Amino acid sequence: MLTEAMIRKQVSEAAKKARQTTPLAGSITNFVTVDFVANAQLAVGGSAAMVYLPDEARSLVRLGSSFYINVGTLLPVYAESVPAAMDEAAATDKPWVLDPVALGIGTLRTELLQHARSCHPAVIRGNASEIIALADLWKLSHGGGAGVRGVDATDTVEAAETAAIALARYTKGAVAVSGKKDLITDGTHVLTAEGGSPLMEKVTGCGCSLGGVIAVYAAVTDPFTAACCGTFAYNLAGESASSVADGPASFKSAFIDNLYTLTDKLDTAKFSLTEV
């Protein structure tokens, strides 16, 4: 049985290993936030590389230790590059992280996220509405229709728990639901984490970059621990950055600095653990 003490030990070890090994976690990500994603990955000890072309996506999956796919702002080329990366990750057994941004708007987005079903992401990271919508799309639960307003959630994290558990059990990985309180599950355990800052909602890219950071940790540990590492790092860095920031711009800078300095303190994060 997994205990809180075990989780604290595992996240501490994973954070150190990421620093020591500098794993390459490539990405196909939202071009609005690509700079934030890359800098956050570097801050926690990873190596970042972003691609858009199908042949480069396949090559980067093979070269890297893990991969991150964020469907935030789609380009026509993504119709080929995203499935190519997903298929390559599945074929080579590379852990990959999916952020199903704004599921529910547009045909291509829906098709790409349906394709992900057969490729079993190691970690799925999204807001509550995205997680509910993805479980519905994959016919794993019936959430009654998730409310997605662009990239913002209109559902609570608590409302997404059943969908998150269903997704984790299907993929045999982990699901991280971000919100005022964060929820992480591997289908057997449910962890609720606290921290962060309201300013994180005023800076574009916090969610996108969290997925990239989780991908760094997925290269060095199991999916559940990776999701915990990323979430704990963001909660701690958000709290610390907000104490010195004057507003969103200074918060963003302080946040990256704190990601860089706080990753050896992940075992101090505030969370609770239950079994399902």
Binding site feature residues? 50, 125, 178, 205
Q: Which residues are annotated as a binding site for substrate?
A: 50, 205
Q: Which residues are annotated as a binding site for ATP?
A: 125, 178
Cα-based angle 45, 92, 65 (whole degrees, multiple of 5): 5
Phi, psi of 9 (to 5 degrees): -65, -45
Question: What are the respective helix, strand and coil percentages of the chain, to the nearest 5?
Answer: 55, 15, 30
How, if at all, do strands 189-194 and 182-185 pair?
Answer: antiparallel
C-beta separation of 27 from 69 below 8 A? yes
Cα distance between residue 164 and residue 182, in whole Å: 12
Write the DSSP symbol of residue 214.
H
Q: Is 32 exposed, middle or buried (0-12, 13-18, 19+ CB in 10 A)?
A: middle
C-beta separation of 181 from 193 below 8 A? yes
